[in-house]
Chains A and B, each alone.
Chain A
């Protein structure tokens, strides 16, 4: 058995009902280094101060109750080893800082109000299956691929770590947010659901919906289960814009269309065209649309400064820049080849895994290896780091054995 070791926890204490300001309390606990931060907190609570507020249940990284910020980063207290936490200390003296999660009000100490933010937002996306009619007498039969597609979003344990760190929500608290939108994809991607279009339209037209995500990757790093909520949001956009042609009022789809078209036509981004087209529509005439005019007017101080400082010359603003003709043709050929396919070819590494012959271990694989025993085993179905041949998509397709509801 490994020797006991001392660790110092610096816990943020706050009781809103007391009327007193938050403060830090330090406790030195004694445990084996491979034990979890949660065990450390519980020992501090038992030995030194029974009033420390912390929520926990399973202690095995599956119930999602003990989401906290450790050394500034969100995670599960039961899923973080004391020695690892000590190594990532930001204080310089190995002290482990434990704070409540962000973007949610504190109830007491490390306990945040998940109902006020997280669960409310999850409810917002109608988090249940709306069955297709007629309901079959026995089970729905769906093809394997389409269910595999939603396994990543199904791995969510609702811990709120992604909500805690969402940079869009920090600025716009109305943003539906990463956890709820990942949940939305779980049903939008489910072939048994009857209201995929309605769901997507709702989320695309909401000014705080799928187009309010800034691509900051915070939720991808925050998630202890590899759900990559941002990737699910991108899938929602792809479905909304490309499959259902939802031309939302937030310019989300217009912006994407304009961007994609401009790269096909110029090879490089033509910024002066992108902006008006994002508002006015994806064609050369987009800039003459009233919405584009309004935007230009609104941005007049910026446009004037740009021209004054010669950031953009009128010539460049009108004609943009292009890559050589032969190369532009090559780019157009790639567009034609790929966009002519009947189905989009998408590779989800979470599901397909990494080739064995990778000289360097694939990033997520090495992360799993390093954190071995932290509750997430590589053999778990649909986990990052699994070998390709173990993956559900690589199994021999057996039409008789399709998953059912």
Chain B
């Protein structure tokens, strides 16, 4: 399937391994990515906090660009925060024709216009709703047997559930667990899976922010997870990049690898760890794969013999 692909900023900035691994995984799932390289940042809620109309207009521009991609079935993102920020703007744009016309009049200078009703899905939603778990299962080449994976969703992709269309018929807040299972891994339940990583307040209340990250990582350690997986690069920044500082604040060793969703999928679909950018993580995923043999979990785990 062909999708208008919005990679976000951080996946091309501080977590380049996310964008890279998505590009590697897409062909294995027959997804054709048409990158929206002309679009700008969603604002991550911060631009909306400053000026709602500005955020809505910038995102309407992205939606209009996505709608002009010929043959694309929908728009896809790989960032929980992008999903949440975009859905918030889209909710307002779709709810009120007068407002939509007002925003479109700003876009008209560029010859763009957003038409109500764009479908925008995170890679996680696309995996479950468009590709389907059975299809995904059939494409697994290296089942994640014995790999104990804790899901970490990110707030923006699970709340508010009305806006995101989450219901008993569409249990999007359970998809990560379902995907882990479909890839052959073991889902670890722990307290922090649907909580906040703390990233949004890292510059405002650093201690509270790191305590949040540290607490969830610690809960995952206590539940004996081998690693976490997240569809949100901002969560990844607080959980992986900031993990040394989270260890300092919480006073315990964590050493919990955090994988991006496309990395976990790629691993199961048979891609080489090297190609999925694991070497770029702050916390080495040595509990996930043995670098020298590319053996996933179970066999070889814990015996990471150099090469990092």
B141 contacts partner chain A, Cβ-Cβ < 8 Å: no
Assuming the contacts A271-B10, A305-B282, asked whether A323 and B155 have C-beta atoms less than 8 A apart, the reply is no
CB atoms of B211 and A309 under 8 A apart: no
A238–B54 alpha-carbon span in the complex (Å): 13
Q: Determine whether the beta carbon of A347 is less than 8 Å from that of B280.
A: no
A335 interfacial contact with B, CB 8 Å? yes
Q: Does B279 contact A (CB under 8 A)?
A: yes
Q: How far is the CB of A250 from chain B (nearest CB, A)?
A: 5
Across the interface, do A338 and B50 meet the contact criterion of CB distance under 8 Å? no
A334 lies within 8 A of B95 (CB): no
| Residue in contact with A338 in the complex, picked from B53, B95, B165, B280, CB distance below 8 Å | B53
Chain A's closest residue to B53 (CB) is A345
Q: 26 A-B contacts, Cβ less than 8 Å apart?
A: A172-B205, A172-B208, A175-B208, A216-B195, A218-B196, A250-B204, A251-B204, A255-B203, A256-B50, A260-B50, A263-B41, A268-B12, A268-B40, A271-B9, A302-B241, A334-B54, A334-B106, A338-B51, A338-B54, A344-B51, A345-B52, A346-B53, A347-B92, A363-B162, A363-B163, A364-B162
Contacts of A214 in B (CB 8 A): 155, 196, 198-201, 209, 212
Task: List the B residue with the shortest CB-CB distance to A237.
Answer: B49
- The distance in angstroms between the C-alpha atoms of A208 and B207, with both chains bound, is 12
Which of the residues A215, A312, A353 comes within 8 Å of B200, measured between beta carbons?
A215
In whole angstroms, what is the CA distance A320 to B244 when docked? 24
Task: Indicate if the CB atoms of A234 and B244 lie closer than 8 Å.
Answer: no
Give the CA-CA distance A216 to B58 in the complex, in Å.
23
Write the nearest CB–CB distance from B59 to chain A, whole angstroms. 11
**B45 CB-CB contact with A under 8 Å:** yes
B138 lies within 8 A of chain A by Cβ: no
Query: B90-134 vs A: 1/0 string, CB under 8 Å?
Result: 011011110100100011011000000100000000000000000
Q: List the A side residues contacting B44 at CB < 8 Å.
A: 259, 269
Whether B162 lies near A367 (C-beta < 8 A) is: yes
Which residues of B, 168-182, contact A by the 8 Å Cβ criterion?
A: 168
A171 at interface by CB-CB < 8 Å: yes
Q: A212-B201, A256-B50 are in contact. Are A171 and B99 (CB under 8 A)?
A: no
Q: Interface stretch among A14-22, A54-62, A181-189, A354-362?
A: A354-362
**Which A residues are in CB contact (< 8 Å) with B199?**
214
7 cross-chain pairs, A with B, having the tightest CB-CB distances, nearest first: A217-B159, A269-B9, A363-B162, A216-B196, A278-B203, A267-B40, A211-B204
Q: Which residues of chain B have C-beta atoms less than 8 A from A211's C-beta?
A: 201, 204-205
Task: Count CB-based A-B contacts (< 8 Å).
Answer: 224
Chain A residue numbers with a CB within 8 Å of B84 are 217
Nearest-CB distance from A107 to chain B (Å)?
24
Q: Which residues of B contact A (CB under 8 A)?
A: 9-10, 12-17, 37-41, 43-54, 56-58, 61, 84, 91-92, 94-97, 99, 102, 106-107, 109-110, 117, 155-156, 159-163, 165, 168, 195-196, 198-201, 203-205, 208-209, 211-212, 215, 241-242, 244-245, 279-282
Shortest CB distance A147–B (Å): 20
Bound complex: CA A338 to CA B168 (Å): 39
Enumerate chain A residues within 8 angstroms of B39, measured Cβ to Cβ.
Answer: 323, 327
Contact A347–B99 (Cβ < 8 Å): yes
Q: Is A91 an interface residue (CB 8 A)?
A: no
Cβ-neighbour of B208 out of A168, A316, A321 (below 8 A):
A168
Q: How far is the CB of B23 from chain A (nearest CB, A)?
A: 16
Closest to B43 in A: A263
Taking CB as reference atom, which chain B residue is nearest A306? B241
- Residue A155 at the B interface, CB < 8 A? no
Q: With A263-B47, A271-B10, A388-B96 given, name 19 new contacts (CB 8 A).
A: A168-B196, A172-B211, A207-B205, A214-B209, A216-B159, A263-B43, A271-B13, A301-B244, A311-B14, A323-B37, A331-B61, A334-B107, A345-B52, A345-B102, A347-B92, A347-B96, A349-B91, A357-B97, A363-B163
Q: Which residue of B lies closest to A263 (CB)?
A: B41
Known: A217-B160, A255-B203, A271-B14. A354 touches B95 (CB 8 A): yes
Does A118 lie at the interface of the complex (its beta carbon under 8 Å from any beta carbon of B)? no
User: In the docked arrangement, what's the CA distance between A269 and B208, Å?
Assistant: 24
Q: How far is the CB of B142 from chain A (nearest CB, A)?
A: 24
Say how far A260's CB is from chain B's closest CB, in angstroms. 5
Shortest distance from the beta carbon of B77 to any chain A beta carbon, whole Å: 14
A171 and B13 within 8 A (CB): no
In Å, the complex CA distance between A395 and B54 comes to: 26
- The yes or no answer to A97 lying at the interface (CB within 8 A) is no
- The answer to whether A252 and B204 touch (CB under 8 A), given A268-B13, A337-B106, A352-B96, is yes
Report the separation of the CA atoms of residues A305 and B208 in the bound assembly, to the nearest whole angstrom. Answer: 22
Q: Give chain A nearest CB distance to B43 CB in angstroms.
A: 7
**B160 touching A215, Cβ below 8 Å:** no
Q: How far is the CB of B286 from chain A (nearest CB, A)?
A: 14
Chain B's nearest CB lies how many Å from the CB of A375? Answer: 17
